[in-house]
Amino acid sequence: MVDVSGMIYNANRPKLLSVGENPVSLLHEKLEMAAKDRTVMAVILRINSPGGTVTATDAMYRQVMRFKRKTGKPVLALMMDVAASGGYYLACSADAIMAYPTTVTGSIGVLVQTVSLKPALSRIGIQAETFTSGPNKDAGSLFSTLTNEHRTVLQQLVNDFYKQFVDVVRQQRGGISEDHFETVTDGRVLSGAQALEMGLVDEIGDLY
């Protein structure tokens, strides 16, 4: 049993009185232990995550794929409360995916969020000056205003990451019909029962 819980990112999770664990490193360590243990016949990847950063999610996906190639041991993904966005991306690394009927999953997509403080600062008399090496270096900066060129650059980035996500789903989830594929990859969330109907998961069940 390997648990992946909470946000997925490549950094130590902060704790009240200690430094938390890094989800990417923790998964690597657990898979290494499972690979070396001859009594382990298979791995249940128990996922309870709303997603996280693109690179950390992809790194964990690659770790599971490498584990399967190296050991030949099957991996089953079990979705708990939430396995959405990057949580679903990671689940796609498994040989089969099981969900509870009330699991929230899907949310297949990528977003980049920007916030600008420049208008608020101007209203109180503060002016921020930024010197850049190129016209797009400050795209998304708190102290700049997005231009149309900035928007194009960021949208291209999102489109590139989204294509990678969709390619993984198409490759690993061959049971999704073409009639449903565009629907399930438009960013919507689904219940476990809906995900089964659409082909995102293989079975409705529980840990036992």
pLDDT at 50 exceeding the cut of 70? yes
**Among residues 59, 140, 46, which one has the least CA distance to residue 100?**
46
- Find the catalytic residue in 25, 70, 122, 137: 137
- Find the catalytic residue in 49, 85, 141, 144: 85
Question: How do residues 4-31 score in pLDDT, each as one tens digit?
Answer: 999 999 888 766 556 678 999 999 999 9
Question: How do residues 125-158 score in pLDDT, each as one tens digit?
Answer: 877 777 777 787 877 777 777 788 888 888 999 9
**What average pLDDT does the chain have?**
91
Neighbours of 182 (CB within 10 A): 9
Q: What's the rounded mean pLDDT across residues 96-119?
A: 89
The verdict on whether 30 is a catalytic residue reads no
Backbone dihedral angles phi then psi of residue 79, each to the nearest 5 degrees: -85, 135
Lowest mean pLDDT across 26-35, 41-50, 146-155, 188-197? 146-155
Q: What is the pLDDT of residue 175?
A: 86
- Count of alpha carbons within 13 Å of 73, Cβ hemisphere only? 22
The residue with greater pLDDT, 33 or 180, is 33
Q: What is the pLDDT of residue 151?
A: 87
The verdict on whether 85 is a catalytic residue reads yes
Residues 51, 84 contacting (CB under 8 angstroms): yes
